[in-house]
Amino acid sequence: MGSFSNYKVAVLFGGASPEYEVSLSSSYNVIKGLLGAGFSVFPIGIDRAGSWFYYYGDIEKIKTDEWQLKDNCSVNIGCSGTKKGVLKIKEDGRFEILDIDVVFAVLHGENGEDGTVQGLLELSGIPYVGCSVLSSNICMNKILTHTVLDAAGIKGTRWRGVMRRDIKNIEFLLEDIAAEFSFPIFTKPSSCGSSVGIRKCKNLKELEDGINFAFKYGDEVICEQFIKGKEVECAVLQTSSSEIKSSAVGQIAGYDDFYDYDSKYKSYAKLIIPANLKDSTTKKVQSIAIKAFEAMRCSGLARVDFFVDDDDEVYVNEINTMPGFTDISMYPKLWEHSGLSYKDLLITLIFVAIKKR
Ligand SMILES: Nc1ncnc2c1ncn2[C@@H]1O[C@H](COP(=O)(O)OP(=O)(O)O)[C@@H](O)[C@H]1O
Ligand SMILES: [Mg+2]
């Protein structure tokens, strides 16, 4: 493929999210990959407080979180009239509209992967890579994800949503859950990621603590039946306006009790590609991944995460609309294994986003 220097891609990195650091390593790799493919890249950093800056400096400093320089120029997304698009705000308050063809928001979790930034981009009229406001928002909420999957006839784990008002009557609630589920039971904040606020509860006391703990991270909590078995993931990619493909299936192994924050980002649990599954189960996972992608109204890309129990029953766990993009992340690794290089994956994502409109 030739050079793509005529295409101007703004990459958003960081973000006011607990997953800020993960975004830095994903973005660093995406920027390097886009530059390697010949695109013109405009890195835009969002600090932990949510301020946006045009970053001119060395991209290596994104990876090490040293990108926040005094002379970074402020950036705004304009949504109105003559101020529509990516605006570079100068010190004297004047602005310049950056000529951008597409935005790649490599942001994970809150304030980035959840539809908020997508809404801003929608209003600004700039095409962007990946899922819409609707699908980003629904996939961020585990209760709504389960609700849509159930309605679409896609099997997930047995679940129960708990609202803050329900804990006024916690004894009744605990009894009710214990009657419907068997221990262990997972408790999770409905709208977090990176395993934040999640506990695996082995008895009523732990269930009560787990629910209270999860409420520290939001107003909705989900309880889920523990599924014993394998944890596998499948990458989905929209390759044109009418074609959606799923990748090889990968397996997560080598974590202790469950795939928590430390095993995700510190000790690096082992990724096994392809997953150790029967051929027929692999095919089933690949086909359900596409069904889930469509049911959630995803576009561009998503990583669909599953549990496969000891009887080869397949359950969707969750759908990530901006999966990790580091060089060791599952999403790009799965495509590499399926014959699509990191570079060609980026090229596909950019062109599907531009042609979408
Ligand atoms: N129902 C379940 N059965 C078995 N393990 C689970 C279940 N729910 C979560 N886990 C474990 O907890 C991890 C994090 O849960 P997950 O729902 O994927 O949250 P997050 O959105 O933070 O990634 C999973 O990767 C898995 O190891
Ligand atoms: Mg997960």
Q: Please state the domain extents for the chain.
A: 8-128, 138-156+228-355, 159-225
Instruction: Compute the average pLDDT of residues 168-184.
Output: 93
Q: Which atom of ligand 1 is nearest to the CA of 157?
A: 1
Report the CATH superfamily, name and number, of domain 138-156+228-355.
Answer: ATP-grasp fold, B domain (3.30.470.20)
193 lines ligand 1 (CB under 6 A): yes
Residue whose structure tokens are 């890195």: 43
Topology (CATH) of 8-128: Rossmann fold (3.40.50)
317 lines ligand 1 (CB under 6 A): yes
The two structure tokens encoding residue 242: 């009418």
CA-nearest of 79, 77, 69 to 47 is 69
Q: Rounded CA gap, 268 and 264, in Å?
A: 5
Q: Per residue in 291-330, is it b (16+ CB within 10 Å) or e — as a string? A: bbbebbebbbbbbbbbbbeeeeebbbbbbbbbbbbbeebb
Q: pLDDT at position 266, please?
A: 67
Amino acid at 40: S
Ligand 2 centroid–CA 189 distance in Å is 12
Q: Rounded CA gap, 244 and 2, in Å?
A: 25
Which architecture characterizes domain 159-225 according to CATH? 2-Layer Sandwich (3.30)
Q: Give 50-107 pLDDT, tens digit per residue.
A: 999 999 999 999 999 999 988 889 999 999 888 889 999 988 889 999 999 999 999 9
Q: pLDDT at position 357, please?
A: 39
Q: Rounded CA gap, 86 and 84, in Å?
A: 7
pTM, rounded to two decimals: 0.95
318 lines ligand 1 (CB under 6 A): yes
